[in-house]
Amino acid sequence: MSQDETTTTEETEAVEPDESTTEELPNDHPLVKTLAKQRAEMKELKKHYSQASKELDEYRQSQLTEQERLVSQAEETTRKEVRVEFAGKLVEAELKSALKNRNVAGDAILSFNKESFIDVDGDVDSEAIAAWVEAHSTHTEAPKPDLGQGARGVTSSQASIRTRDELTKMNPEEILKARTDGRLDGLMGKI
């Protein structure tokens, strides 16, 4: 390997800067100027690329037969319709995930229009959904987990009736009240 090849290889290898050593450079620094110039060139190249790509697509379309053109158009239309159809489901999923641990204010959900969050190509605007949720909902506290311990409900202080012998000691009104309170659920096989 010659000296020129070694120097070229070393110069072209990119070195990733360590986050701890990166520092803000002034706008008149040569590296900042070079980066700005390269970004402008890249933007111009992207513009030329998209224009050339569009021209190539137009040329390809002009070379197709009428039948091929119709088939291509039908495929594109179908693809677009399917995207738009499933975009509604994606909007619902985005809304559900954005509403997690939040309460919708009043009747705001009635004004939610799924189609307004879908563009003509069937893409979903997640940021707009998040903004809508932020504007029309409030945070809720996370529910406390039920560990299955301790007294619950209004009649939790009353014991469940577990045997028929306990029923013989009760009058019909007490039995009916115990049933409506759920104290007979175990005996009736509901739990």
pLDDT at 148: 67
**Contact of 54 with 90, CB cutoff 8 Å:** no
Q: Residue 117 burial by CB count (10 A; 0-12/13-18/19+): exposed, middle or buried?
A: buried
Q: Is 189 left (phi over 0), alpha (psi -120 to 50) or beta?
A: left
As a whole number of angstroms, the distance between CA 38 and CA 31 comes to 10
pLDDT at 105: 82
Strand-pair partners of 78: none
The predicted structure's pLDDT at residue 17: 52
pLDDT of residue 153: 57
Predicted local confidence at residue 100, as pLDDT: 86
What is the structure's pLDDT at 57? 84
pLDDT by residue, tens only, the chain of 191 residues: 445 444 444 444 444 555 555 578 888 888 888 999 999 999 999 999 999 999 998 888 888 888 888 888 899 889 888 888 888 889 999 989 888 888 888 888 888 888 888 887 788 888 899 898 888 888 877 667 767 676 565 555 577 888 888 888 889 999 888 888 888 887 777 77
- In the chain, where the domains are located: 85-139, 160-191
Q: How far apart are CA 72 and CA 69, in angstroms?
A: 5
Burial group, residue 178, by CB count within 10 angstroms (0-12, 13-18, 19+): buried
Question: What does DSSP assign to residue 189?
Answer: T
Helices (H), the chain: 3-12, 30-63, 66-98, 126-136, 164-168, 172-181, 185-188
Q: Tell me what pLDDT residue 7 has.
A: 47
Q: Whole-model pTM above 0.85?
A: no
Specify which residues 138 forms β-bridges with.
103
Q: In the prediction, which pLDDT does 114 show?
A: 86
| pLDDT score for 1 | 46
Contact 124, 118 (CB under 8 A): yes
Tokens 């469940």 label which residue? Answer: 160
140 has which bridge partners? none
Report the pLDDT value the prediction gives residue 45, as an integer from 0 to 100. 94
